[in-house]
Homo-oligomer: A and B are copies of this chain.
């Protein structure tokens, strides 16, 4: 891999700030009896030990335990090797990993190692895991299970990016090394998208200056740009999935616990036992999406139309008292209703997705996200669509009819005297671009940050109070020691407690946000061509803000693999298509100032735009895939090289050489080195460079050793007794 091995930041101090902890399980027992809690806790530790995991325990905030998990290095190496073998079997990688059943391998990146830890914690017992599923069934009292952040590396990346404009390929590799491919794909996407935004930004500024809004020149350029970007991204995605060796990774994902199958079939070719659920029945179930989408569109659309109509009514027709205040009423009502309606729709969507019965978690997530996207698109775009294609063109005809109660002071003098301001569309787009993006940023990143700090302060105050209380009570010396952090652990533990309270990072939400932005640009960009310039500036901040959120405000996500940005890609394609139609319609309607609009020429415009889209889309995708063919041929080349090498080994060296393993030659057991001096910037095979901070290192190793001594079961039971008792004593206080 191309993690540049020669680039070593000065900050590359030994990273022992995580005390060798691989995974943390946050167990909460404030809702249940201590005896039940002890039983569950013992069972948890038992399951973890059975899966060959080492454990340690400390108390969390309130009535909760933090179970620290460490995978013995030899076991981890073996897991990494087994995972690679599986990759090779499923054709994800083309070079057979050298070794045999006892081989232990060095993880190439922290993410690879953490993925194996993740599997060891979550996979079913048949597959060798501990089957810890937070918030599910047996483990519904486990609030979360997560790896710890690598603070040094995160800070280093953020510091580096604050000084640069573009992310390099190495930066993306670093994100991949820290957070896995799924997250890295999002950053690669926002990076590509933002770089591409330069064209519409410049083009928009130029046409805006010389031609004003609604110019055909900008419209054509913008639509072509959108097509080129989407086709480029498709290829880029394949390129990255080859670079990161995750192409087709969906095939090897394990079956969900919830998967229901009709029969088990022995595959004729592979000899594996496959659990089969009729794809025909699954497709029939998926067809339920059509009524669901209709209902969702009707519900959300109805709400939006009513709000819109009320707003227009109040601002244009109603002239009674409090008009100035009442104008905001519809939006307020809408905002109040929206969460419960989307909540209802979401729960229907979840039930539908469950009913669709996907085999892997990946497929399940995709299906669920796709449904959420549909809903999100409706709420994001429908208001502006209504403004652009209903309110402004037909407002003069429709609005007078809204005056059903004849509230207007001069009733129905002449319906034609009502004038709609055509610049309303532009105003809305400007709002969305400037104000909207800033507000989003504040709401998404700044507000949670502030909230987090305040929450932390409150927690600190709370725990001090609790500490005083505990001190008052009679408890054994051993228990007391457990309830107060060791001085050298204290900083670490308070960080872990903060991370345990943090939100889970949802990469789909961030991707969706970018898709919505792309949608605004393609659908309505032509009414205010400067829109792309605003987005470009926003995205510089957005990328860093998202990384800040990911690394400081969220739990470190499990490094899941993926070979695409998921359903967003289809969303982008649909938006490009709709964008062409919408742009054509807006240019036709608004260019002449609503003067001569004829249905036939309007329809002809749309039809021509549609055909132009199809033709250009074909040309662009063909052209790009031809020009970038070398990227896509790389997979074939890799396979060829692998087979050629194998053939040479097999034929050249002939008998007795044995095993015919990797042509690059293996060297037996590899030393496992992970989290002792591994960095996202160093490839794992570099020898550790001699450094002068050995003393510091020894000291931190010491605390680490101390951290891992002691029996997790005993300590945990003591803490549960101590805190659980206190929980029973002061129910009201603890639940704050």
| Interface positions of A (Cβ within 8 A of B) | 85, 88-91, 96, 100-101, 248, 251, 267, 269-272, 279-280, 282-283, 286, 577, 598-600, 603-604, 606-607, 610, 614, 623, 626-630, 634, 636-641, 643-644, 646-647, 650-651, 654-661
Distance A90 CA – B639 CA, assembled complex (angstroms): 7
Q: Known contacts being A89-B640, A610-B610, A640-B91, is A658 close to B654, with CB within 8 Å?
A: yes
Asked if B282 and A637 make an inter-chain contact with CB atoms under 8 angstroms apart, the answer reads no
Asked if B658 and A279 make an inter-chain contact with CB atoms under 8 angstroms apart, the answer reads no
Tell me the smallest distance from the CB of A343 to a CB of chain B, in Å: 28
Tell me the smallest distance from the CB of A493 to a CB of chain B, in Å: 44
CB < 8 Å neighbour of A640 from B90, B286, B629, B660: B90
Look across to chain B and name the residue whose beta carbon is closest to the beta carbon of A90. B640
Distance A252 CA – B658 CA, assembled complex (angstroms): 30
Q: Known contacts being A626-B279, A627-B279, A629-B279, is A269 close to B634, with CB within 8 Å?
A: yes
Q: Known contacts being A90-B640, A629-B279, is A647 close to B600, with CB within 8 Å?
A: no
Tell me the smallest distance from the CB of A205 to a CB of chain B, in Å: 28
Q: Known contacts being A283-B626, A603-B607, is A654 close to B659, with CB within 8 Å?
A: yes
Look across to chain B and name the residue whose beta carbon is closest to the beta carbon of A101. B651
Q: Known contacts being A283-B623, A629-B279, is A650 close to B643, with CB within 8 Å?
A: no
| Interface contacts beyond A90-B639, A270-B644, A598-B600: sample of 11 additional A-B pairs, CB < 8 Å, sorted by A | A89-B643, A91-B639, A91-B640, A91-B643, A101-B651, A251-B636, A270-B641, A279-B630, A282-B626, A600-B603, A654-B659
Tell me the smallest distance from the CB of A82 to a CB of chain B, in Å: 12
Look across to chain B and name the residue whose beta carbon is closest to the beta carbon of A661. B650
Return 21 A-B CB contacts under 8 Å, by A number: A85-B647, A88-B643, A89-B640, A89-B643, A90-B639, A96-B643, A96-B646, A96-B647, A269-B637, A269-B641, A270-B641, A280-B627, A283-B623, A599-B604, A603-B603, A603-B604, A603-B607, A654-B658, A655-B659, A656-B658, A660-B660
Distance A432 CA – B610 CA, assembled complex (angstroms): 32
Contacts of A286 in B (CB 8 A): 626
Look across to chain B and name the residue whose beta carbon is closest to the beta carbon of A290. B619
Contacts of A630 in B (CB 8 A): 279
Contacts of A282 in B (CB 8 A): 626
Asked if A637 and B270 make an inter-chain contact with CB atoms under 8 angstroms apart, the answer reads yes
Look across to chain B and name the residue whose beta carbon is closest to the beta carbon of A639. B91
Asked if B603 and A270 make an inter-chain contact with CB atoms under 8 angstroms apart, the answer reads no
Q: Which of A627, A636, A659 has the most CB of B within 10 A?
A: A659
Q: Which of A270, A279, A600, A651 has the most CB of B within 10 A?
A: A270
Distance A100 CA – B623 CA, assembled complex (angstroms): 42
Tell me the smallest distance from the CB of A358 to a CB of chain B, in Å: 11
Asked if B640 and A650 make an inter-chain contact with CB atoms under 8 angstroms apart, the answer reads no
Look across to chain B and name the residue whose beta carbon is closest to the beta carbon of A598. B600
Shortest beta-carbon contacts, A-B, top 8:
A660-B660, A603-B603, A655-B658, A600-B600, A599-B600, A269-B637, A270-B641, A270-B640
Distance A638 CA – B269 CA, assembled complex (angstroms): 6
Q: Known contacts being A91-B639, A280-B627, A599-B600, is A650 close to B659, with CB within 8 Å?
A: yes
Look across to chain B and name the residue whose beta carbon is closest to the beta carbon of A614. B577
Distance A641 CA – B280 CA, assembled complex (angstroms): 26
Tell me the smallest distance from the CB of A285 to a CB of chain B, in Å: 11
Look across to chain B and name the residue whose beta carbon is closest to the beta carbon of A658. B655
Tell me the smallest distance from the CB of A336 to a CB of chain B, in Å: 34
Distance A626 CA – B660 CA, assembled complex (angstroms): 38
Distance A634 CA – B286 CA, assembled complex (angstroms): 23
Asked if B647 and A89 make an inter-chain contact with CB atoms under 8 angstroms apart, the answer reads yes
Contacts of A626 in B (CB 8 A): 279, 282-283, 286
Look across to chain B and name the residue whose beta carbon is closest to the beta carbon of A269. B637
Tell me the smallest distance from the CB of A668 to a CB of chain B, in Å: 13
Distance A607 CA – B286 CA, assembled complex (angstroms): 27
Q: Known contacts being A101-B651, A629-B279, A655-B658, is A90 close to B644, with CB within 8 Å?
A: no
Contacts of A623 in B (CB 8 A): 283
Distance A269 CA – B664 CA, assembled complex (angstroms): 13
Distance A661 CA – B654 CA, assembled complex (angstroms): 10
Tell me the smallest distance from the CB of A609 to a CB of chain B, in Å: 10
Asked if B100 and A651 make an inter-chain contact with CB atoms under 8 angstroms apart, the answer reads yes
Distance A283 CA – B85 CA, assembled complex (angstroms): 40
Tell me the smallest distance from the CB of A191 to a CB of chain B, in Å: 24
Q: Which of A577, A634, A651 has the most CB of B within 10 A?
A: A651
Q: Known contacts being A600-B599, A607-B603, is A271 close to B641, with CB within 8 Å?
A: yes
Contacts of A634 in B (CB 8 A): 269
Contacts of A654 in B (CB 8 A): 100, 658-659
Contacts of A661 in B (CB 8 A): 650
Tell me the smallest distance from the CB of A598 to a CB of chain B, in Å: 8
Contacts of A640 in B (CB 8 A): 89-91, 269-270, 272
Distance A599 CA – B600 CA, assembled complex (angstroms): 6
Distance A196 CA – B610 CA, assembled complex (angstroms): 30
Asked if B607 and A637 make an inter-chain contact with CB atoms under 8 angstroms apart, the answer reads no
